[in-house]
Amino acid sequence: MSKGKVIVTGGAGFIGSHTVVELEAAGYEPVIVDDFSNSDRRVLAGLERICGREIVCHEVDCADPAAVRVVFEREGAIRGAIHFAASKAVGESVQIPLRYYKNNLGSLITLLELMAEFEVTDLVFSSSCTVYGQPDALPVTEETPMQAAESPYGYTKQVCESIIGDVVRAQGPLRAVVLRYFNPIGAHPSAAIGELPLGTPDNLVPFITQSAAGLRGPLTVFGDDYATPDGSCVRDYIHVVDLAKAHVKSLDWLGGRGTEPQAEIFNVGTGRGASVLEAIAAFESISGRKLDYSIGARRAGDIEQIFADVHKVESELGWKAEFGIEDAMRDAWNWQLELKA
> How far is 98 from 96, CA to CA, in rounded Å?
6
Closer to ligand UD1 by CB, 113 or 202: give it. Answer: 202
The stretch among 41-49, 170-178, 215-223, 247-255 that binds ligand UD1 (CB under 6 A) is 215-223
Interatomic CA distance for residues 226 and 229, integer angstroms: 9
Beta-sheet strands, E only, within the chain: 5-9, 29-34, 56-59, 80-83, 122-128, 175-181, 183-185, 219-222, 234-235, 237-239, 262-268, 274-275, 293-296
Decide if residue 299 touches ligand UD1 (CB under 6 A): yes
Among 38, 103, 183, 287, binds ligand UD1 (CB under 6 A): 183
DSSP state of 140: B
Sheet holding 5-9, edge to edge: 56-59, 29-34, 5-9, 80-83, 122-128, 175-181, 262-268
Whether the Cβ atoms of residue 167 and residue 254 lie closer than 8 Å to each other: no
Residue 302 as a binder of ligand UD1 (CB under 6 A): the answer is yes
Q: Does 203 bind ligand UD1 (CB under 6 A)?
A: yes
Residues forming the active site: 153
Of the two residues 154 and 186, which places its CB atom closer to ligand UD1 in the complex? 154
88-212-195-90 Cα dihedral, nearest 10 degrees: 0
128 binds ligand UD1 (CB under 6 A): yes
Q: How far is the CB of 226 from ligand UD1 (least distance, A)?
A: 9
- For the chain, the straight-line distance linking the first and the last C-alpha, in angstroms and rounded, comes to 38
Among 276, 277, 310, 325, binds ligand UD1 (CB under 6 A): 276
- CB of 176 or CB of 185, closer to ligand UD1: 185
Residue with smaller CB distance to ligand UD1, 24 or 34: 34
Which of these segments, 19-27, 36-44, 101-109, 197-205, binds ligand UD1 (CB under 6 A)? 197-205
Question: Nearest approach, Cβ of 298 to ligand UD1 (angstroms)?
Answer: 8
Q: Is 220 in the site for ligand UD1 (CB under 6 A)?
A: yes
Enter the DSSP assignment of 158: H
Helix or strand holding residue 210 (H, E): helix 204-212
Binding segment for ligand UD1 (CB under 6 A), chosen from 39-47, 76-84, 168-176, 203-211, is: 203-211
Name which of 160 and 219 has its Cβ closer to ligand UD1: 219
Per CB under 6 A, 207 contacts ligand UD1? yes
The number of beta carbons lying within 10 Å of the beta carbon of residue 101 is: 17
Write the interaction track for ligand UD1 spanning residues 31-60; mark x where CB under 6 A is met and - where it is not: ------------------------------
Using rule CB under 6 A, residue 202 touches ligand UD1: yes
CA distance 104 to 168: 19
Exposure string of 111-127, with b = 16+ CB inside 10 Å and e = fewer, is bbebbeebebbbbbbbb
Residues at the contact surface with ligand UD1, assessed by CB under 6 A: 88, 90, 128, 130, 154, 183, 202-204, 207, 219-222, 233, 235, 276, 299, 302-303
